[in-house]
A and B are shown apart, each in its own frame.
Chain A
Amino acid sequence: SQQGEEDPQALSIQEGENATMNCSYKTSINNLQWYRQNSGRGLVHLILIRSNEREKHSGRLRVTLDTSKKSSSLLITASRAADTASYFCATGNTGNQFYFGTGTSLTVIP
């Protein structure tokens, strides 16, 4: 399956701490994206990293990609209660589809 797989499935941290989520996939990709989904809502695009990139930053977000290990990580620094959500990685190849993982549920405790 090309579907990404996030790890851990659930994560609970104190406000101010850093949160790290990992995504592993099985086939070669052109790009990988991270999305956030608040409970009962649609997905919000966070960041895209292409297969020739190793690291990208956006505000408090840092994404790394290791194509040799077929894995990516999303780091949220100085977490806030508003970061509580589910986080999904989605992998894309040369086709039209993105393959979403099952997500990591992050709870940030105020």
Chain B
Amino acid sequence: NAGVMQNPRHLVRRRGQEARLRCSPMKGHSHVYWYRQLPEEGLKFMVYLQKENIIDESGMPKERFSAEFPKEGPSILRIQQVVRGDSAAYFCASSPRGPLEQYFGPGTRLTVT
């Protein structure tokens, strides 16, 4: 059983471009969580999704950020018009049932130049 997959592992974008981060949960997991980790900091919750539904997006910035988890395919975290402050590691986690027992992916490191 493959773990949580994230791609790309590293992404470089210029200011103003769009960043798309993908997360494929573990097989059988229908709950996905996105976190952001700034350098030297802990992870900050962004959004919690179940298939086709956003359950909790209280950690998402109000503008430029969006997330989806379609019926088929990976979950996508989309950042429009990236700024330097968006540079961070973005981690996805999945679970079979609710927030406990989250399994984390390796992360996508976004650098905005």
Residues of A within 8 A of B (CB): 3-4, 31, 35, 41-45, 48, 88, 90, 92, 95-103
- Chain B 84-106, CB-CB to A under 8 Å as 1, else 0, gives 00000001010000111111111
B28 within 8 A of A: no
Please give the distance in Å from A1's CB to the nearest CB on chain B: 11
A88 CA to B102 CA, complexed, in Å? 14
Within the complex, which residue of A42, A48, A103 is in contact with B100, where a contact is CB–CB below 8 Å?
Answer: A48
Please give the distance in Å from B53's CB to the nearest CB on chain A: 12
Main secondary structure, interface of A, reads: strand
B contact residues, range: 20 to 34
Q: Assess whether B56 is in contact with A95, with CB atoms less than 8 Å apart.
A: yes
Within the complex, which residue of A41, A92, A101 is in contact with B42, where a contact is CB–CB below 8 Å?
Answer: A101
Q: Assess whether A43 is in contact with B100, with CB atoms less than 8 Å apart.
A: no
Q: Which 3 A-B pairs have the closest CB atoms?
A: A100-B42, A42-B104, A43-B104
Q: List 12 A-B contacts (CB under 8 A).
A: A3-B42, A31-B100, A43-B93, A45-B103, A92-B100, A95-B56, A96-B56, A98-B45, A100-B42, A100-B43, A101-B42, A102-B40
Q: Assess whether A97 is in contact with B107, with CB atoms less than 8 Å apart.
A: no
